[in-house]
Amino acid sequence: MKYDGSDYGIVVQEVIFKNILASVKEDKLSKENIISEKYVNTNMDRQEALGYIEYMKKFEVKEISFVMVPGVYEERNGTLYYVYNAEGVTQMVDKYIHGKIDDTASADSKSLRIEVSNGGITDGLAAKTRDMLIGLGYNVTGISNYEGYKQEATRIVVKQEGQGSDLVQYFDGAYVELDTNNIVSDEYDIKIILGLDEK
C-alpha cells in the first residue's frame, strides 16, 4: 500500500468541527433541534449532549486550531501506520497545553548548515523560505523537495539535542525532532521539512 501524501481527512475534520461550533454559536444547532431530532444515533444521552452545547457556545471559532500529533508515516507489512514522535508530542503538549516555551534548548542555529526541503504542495516554497532565513542571518546551504510522506506541521530535524529551537518561531505549528532515522544528510546539521501548513 502506498500513501499518496494527502492528509485531507485531517483538514476535513477541522472544517467540520469549526462549522459545527459556528452552528452552535449561531443557534442553528440549538437545544430544540437536538431534542426534536429522531434519527440521530449516538451513545451520548440527551442531557450530556445539551451540556456540551452550552459549553461550546463559550468557544471562539477563530481561536481554535488543529495541531497534528508529531510523527511519521511508516509502512509495515503492507499497512501504513502513523508512528508518533514521543519527544515531539511532549514538546507539543508543553507548548499548547501547558504554555511552556523551551528555554533549555535555545542554542543559536545561525552558524549551522541548514537544508530547507519542500514537504508541502506549494511550488517554490523551499526557495522562498531559504531566502527568508538567509535574510535573518541563517546559513541555508541547500534546498530540496522532500520525498517522504507529507504532513501538516513543519519538522525541524536536528543532529544534536538543543539545536533548532530558535527556528520554530518562523513556522506554523513546527516542532524540533532529533534525527534518529538519518534524515539529515552528512553535509547539513539541520533539515527543515516544510509542512502543508506553510504557505
User: Which backbone phi and psi does 44 adopt, to 5 degrees?
Assistant: -105, 130
pLDDT at 3: 37
Would you list the domain boundaries of the chain? 8-63, 104-194
pLDDT tens for the chain, 199 residues: list them: 333 444 566 667 777 877 777 777 777 766 676 666 666 677 777 778 777 777 777 777 777 767 778 887 788 898 888 888 888 888 888 777 776 655 544 568 999 999 999 988 888 899 999 999 999 999 999 999 988 877 788 999 998 888 898 999 998 888 888 887 788 999 999 999 998 878 7
3-state secondary structure (DSSP) of residue 49: helix
Would you list the DSSP string of 66-106? --PPSEEEEEETTEEEEEE-HHHHHHHHHHHTS-----TT-
**Span 63-100, pLDDT tens digits:** 776 777 888 778 889 888 888 888 888 888 877 777 66
Return the CATH architecture of domain 104-194: 2-Layer Sandwich (3.30)
pTM beyond 0.75: no
pLDDT at res. 197: 79
Predicted pLDDT at 6:
47
Helices marked H in the chain: 8-25, 31-36, 46-56, 86-96, 125-135
Closest CA to 178 of 159, 154, 192: 159
- Helix, strand, coil shares, percent, the chain, to 5: 35, 20, 50
Q: Is 28 helix (H, G, I), strand (E, B) or coil?
A: coil
Q: How would you class 117 by CB atoms within 10 Å of its CB: exposed for 0-12, middle for 13-18, buried for 19 or more? A: buried
